[in-house]
Amino acid sequence: MAMELKLGGRVQMKKPHPCGGSVFVITRVGMDVKLRCETCGHEVELPRARAERGIRTIIREEET
């Protein structure tokens, strides 16, 4: 079953980016998922299945 990924959501990946950051922002959702590193701003585009396997947690924003 597909993971619920939302545009603008934040995820923590299992492997950190070479810059040291492990938190990414989702900038595109579909067959491919585009992620932007919060530390350096580099963008990575992965097939959805590979991105879902690499996600450790979905970071939920607290509603105010």
> What is the per-residue pLDDT for 58?
93
Angle at CA of residue 48, ends 47 and 54, nearest 5°: 95
> What is the per-residue pLDDT for 62?
62
Domain ranges of the chain: 10-59
- In tens digits, what is the pLDDT along the chain, a chain of 64 residues? 778 899 999 999 999 999 999 999 999 999 999 999 999 999 999 999 999 999 999 998 765 4
Q: Which residues contact 9 (CB under 8 A, 6 or more apart)?
A: 25, 26, 58, 59
Indicate if the alpha-carbon torsion angle 11, 44, 46, 28 is positive or negative.
positive
Indicate if the alpha-carbon torsion angle 1, 53, 33, 38 is positive or negative.
positive
